[in-house]
Amino acid sequence: MNSKIIAVALVFLIVGISAGYAINGKNVNEKISEKQAEIDSLNTQISSLQTKVVALEKDAGLWRQLKALYTDMAPPDMPDHMVKMLPDGKMIFLHFDGPVGEARNLLWIGDGIPGKFLKSDQPKEEGYVHFHGMNGGHGSALAPGTQGFWIRHIAVKELDAPWGHVTPGLDTKFMPTPPPE
């Protein structure tokens, strides 16, 4: 009788273990499927990020090229500008939304033509409406005849400025500084 009880117990034990393994096996397989789906989703995100990194590396390379070109000192009251003086005395510049080291957006690009703060020296081409002194200051803060640059700003994005809404292109309303006769 002991051997019959032991045999029956063994059968129940084996059937129970088999049934439990099947249940646990099902749970394990479901967990494996869930984890595989998570892994697939993460792999898709990684692939997307790798694509973005390639674009950001390209942008960073372009930024390094610009920084290498625009190395001339801007007047002290223009910390939001990067400037390049050209051999003919003219300048080109980048104008940001804050000091260059902290800026998040490029707002304008532009150029400047050397001249004096006099109506007779203001370039006739459209857009040269802002005068900036060689050592800083602009407009009425400058004495007539002060040496500096007639500056033209070209907006690179849509923005709101103190003089109104600006759209990409020539900004003829950028802080006009009417010159004295």
Quick one: pLDDT band at residue 2, thresholds 50, 70, 90? low
Split at pLDDT 50, 70, 90, the class of 139 is: confident
Q: What is the pLDDT of residue 74?
A: 83
Please check the confidence at residue 176 and state whether its pLDDT lies above 50: yes
What 3-state class would DSSP assign to 77? Answer: coil
* The residue type at 99: P
Task: For residues 53-73, give the mean pLDDT.
Answer: 87
Q: Which residue(s) pair with 169 in the sheet?
A: 155
| pLDDT band per the 50, 70, 90 thresholds, residue 6 | low
Q: Is-contact 94 109, C-beta < 8 A?
A: yes
Q: What is the per-residue pLDDT for 94?
A: 96
71 pLDDT band, cuts 50/70/90, is confident
In angstroms, rounded to a whole number, what is the distance separating the alpha carbons of residues 112 and 11?
96
124 pLDDT above the threshold of 70: yes
The reported pTM is 0.72
